[in-house]
Structure 1
């Protein structure tokens, strides 16, 4: 048995549900989230790193997930969905007044926009930390957050401001006119 196998088994046993939920937020698709998690595990454990604790291994896998999502988006270009072909999308639109489906709205963002939003609000990273994490310029991250803000506002029917100084979470609508 390789020295990393027991730690991989422990990560999968104890941390897989959280890592899978994180991947699903970035992909918007549970089936694709499984593939992304698998790829992130391979990237993490195939490089011969030594992890002292399961927390350290989980952190490496969590850090690899957004990169895997972006890399996969370069290879697989999804066909735009027509809401008429998918009744569940139309149902979500009618339920928007009752429940804001942030996860559904995140699916509509481009992979890099989605990664920036999730890293900003789920992982609570600053613009500088996101740019370092994804290997992008600060201005590029700000542009992705701005574009995502406009798209999410249209999808969720609220005014959203994803600038760094804004501390209101994505799921809460802002009072009109307040920024």
Structure 2
């Protein structure tokens, strides 16, 4: 009987640790891996970062210039079950890797903003952005104008000439902003 009581105590502790880990990963902080060179020189391919998730949990709009993790599947709605299935422990247990759907980008536009790309430079609401973080000036192409709709944001990579971002995939629904890169490395 004493052995069974000891085993039960350990199982209870492991269960609490598992539930706590899920809670922290879904609502507080979660690790992500940068995949590719779209955020060079700020972040590098395969670099691990930690995102604070309480902004996503509370539905807050990140600040201009924040590095955000987004779900690139903008053509579908997200549910709470997505957050659970995408938790690293659950993904490991089910054998599913969803890493390739998460993009790490910089927030350029909030709901209601007008983003213009002219002569390789980015303007927000008519103001030229000071972007010391970009790798190099964008290759000059045709001028582009984006009007960010309500409940969406506009994101771009720091390596503008090598980034799949809002210019290609469209506006990002706020519920697809999974987290903001935290102060942790």
TM category (shorter chain) comes to: under 0.3
Who wins on radius of gyration, i.e. which is larger?
2
Report the TM-score, using the length of structure 1 for normalisation: 0.25
Report the TM-score, using the length of structure 2 for normalisation: 0.24
Which structure carries more relative contact order (alpha carbon 8 Å, separation 6+)? 2
